[in-house]
A = this chain, B = another copy of it.
């Protein structure tokens, strides 16, 4: 029998996934993962205080979470020096990203992002019928003036920038982002993804200004805080935009353990500092390993290092595939101009030792096959 008709937008969408998860790769390849260093997770783990909060809260798993996310919103607002009405909590930055696209993008509306930037953003824009305009990177950085020109040229309703950037690991100093914001038309929302913000060098995050109605910042507990598995992120912005999430969000969507763990993490600055040190050391370790293999490691303001494999995209893809065969899960940019790179997440020494052992083998196999 026929199915009821999908909406016009949904009917034309592909079944897709912005990222194939490592568990899915294992199911498809049959190869166990020895080093999980592809999703920019933090193998250093969350704060012990967060783990304690999860274990203590487990008993209350029968109770719905607080739909107002009150305690976490309040703690974040105090930390950021803003009002709790200027912070929204969501099921990861990904969940909030979907909601903000839903609030602002109708079918046919134009949206600007960089060619090769975060696929999940593009997925959400397509999911609401938005039309995406792609601006190539300028070297290893997002092209701020190119993005601004595109916004003006096509009358975009939204523009996405990640600072620090994923997948290249680069960053723009705050002043560049502030200039971009000052020049942005009022009618265009900047979605400023700061998922790697805690790992960025001093001076790369603009001061928070929630009076500005056309900037929404996204942050995450998935990266430096090491809680990717629990799904909790937050948005910072004008109270009218933050309030508008209450028109469309799944109010009970942020689970109880995530709220408790994020709150506990936020109170453990010492662990965050320790993590940032570990990540910096791991970035250096990845750079040393690449240098030993005659590969260039790009400077990174994040918890990953992007390596230039030195040849074309097909070669870099073979390197990634060979690493996969050896049980090393990494990812790579696929866009023209970026695709000669692979991207490796900072991780504890056990994973680094496996990388050190396998990278030369993967490079040799990839080279031999070319």
Contacts and interface: CB of A to CB of B under 8 A. Distances in A.
A250 B105 CA distance: 17
Contact of A59 (B3, B24, B45, B66): B45
A62 B39 contact: no
A4 B247 contact: no
B65 A24 contact: no
A104 B261 CA distance: 36
A231 interface: yes
Interface of A: 1-10, 13-21, 23-24, 27, 36, 39, 41-46, 50-51, 54-55, 57-68, 70, 91-92, 94-95, 98, 102-106, 109, 127, 157-158, 186-189, 211-214, 222, 226-231, 238, 240-241, 243-244, 246-248, 250-258, 261
A336 to B, nearest CB: 25
Main secondary structure on A side of the interface with B: loop
B10 A244 contact: yes
Contacts of A16: 246-247
Given A4-B186, A23-B66, A15 B229 contact: no
A208 to B, nearest CB: 16
A168 to B, nearest CB: 21
A61 B66 contact: no
Given A17-B246, A45-B59, A65-B229, 9 more contacts: A1-B213, A3-B240, A7-B106, A21-B68, A41-B63, A46-B61, A54-B257, A61-B230, A255-B258
A297 B156 CA distance: 58
B251 A19 contact: yes
B59 A7 contact: no
A227 B256 CA distance: 10
- Scoring A7, A58, A250, A261 by chain B CB atoms within 10 A of each residue's CB, the highest score goes to A250
Contacts of A258: 255
B3 A238 contact: yes
Q: How many copies does the complex hold?
A: 2
A60 B39 CA distance: 14
Contact of A248 (B10, B42, B44): B10
A227 to B, nearest CB: 5
A64 B51 contact: no
A24 B94 contact: no
B251 A62 contact: no
Contacts of A4: 104, 157-158, 186-189, 213-214
A212 B45 CA distance: 45
Contact of A1 (B104, B212, B229): B212
A229 B257 contact: yes
A222 B95 contact: no
B213 A2 contact: yes
Contacts of A261: 61
B61 A15 contact: no
Given A4-B189, A23-B66, A70-B27, A230 B257 contact: yes
Given A6-B244, A62-B228, A68-B23, A211 B15 contact: no
B228 A63 contact: yes
Contacts of A55: 54-55, 58
Given A17-B246, A92-B250, A229 B62 contact: yes
A320 B65 CA distance: 22
A4 B110 CA distance: 13
